[in-house]
Amino acid sequence: MTNKFDYVKTRREDIDEIPAKIVPLIRAFMKNYTRFNVWVYKKTNGKFMKNFPGGFPICIVTMIGRKSGQAREVALIHLPMGEKKLLVASQGGLDKHPVWYHNVKANSAIDIMVAGQKSSFVATQANDEEKRDLWPHLLSLYPEFDEYQARTDRDIPVFICDPV
């Protein structure tokens, strides 16, 4: 199968498909792991559980829930770009956007904590051209994004977060 996005170098036939029957288990694991990760990270001011497996640094993103109006937090890979930050709603290449994506789309004002320091940002979803231009930078920080995009038919959203 040809990639939907010509800048994605990984071919779908070269990666393992996630069996549909285990997707609910994966989603539950991701949800519980990130809750625990956020709790530990915040309790230790970013000293523990500061990296995802593989050594990739994380950040804690705080947003407002689109339905609840309550603050919601998620641990994501820290993707700096100068003073800006990038967020990628990859969810491992699963078929649906993560819940946090819908929250950020509904309310673009977010906080991002890195190494215990919290800053405010405004998140804007990158358009197709911006995503294409950002792709090499994203892969330099976390190469697995290429595999995630190859795995799914959905266009994995990327947010550009400008400091407030």
Q: How far is CA 131 from the centre of its chain?
A: 14
**pTM for this structure?**
0.94
Topology adopted by domain 12-163: Pnp Oxidase; Chain A (2.30.110)
Q: What percent of the chain has pLDDT over 70?
A: 98
- What integer pLDDT is reported at residue 93 of this predicted model? 94
Residues in the chain: 164
Torsion of CA 139, 143, 144, 150, to 10 degrees: 60
Nearest residue to 93 via CA among 2, 17, 34, 11: 17
Per-residue pLDDT of the chain (164 residues; tens, 9 = 90+): 456 899 999 999 999 889 999 999 999 999 999 999 999 999 999 999 999 988 999 999 999 999 999 999 999 999 999 999 999 999 999 999 999 999 999 999 999 999 989 999 999 999 999 999 999 999 999 999 999 999 999 999 999 999 99
- What integer pLDDT is reported at residue 138 of this predicted model? 98
- What integer pLDDT is reported at residue 2 of this predicted model? 54
The ranges assigned to domains in the chain are 12-163
pLDDT tens string 130-141? 999 999 999 999
Q: Where are the beta strands (DSSP E) in 17-142?
A: 51-52, 56-64, 71-77, 79-81, 84-88, 109-114, 117-125
Chain position carrying tokens 């320091």: 117
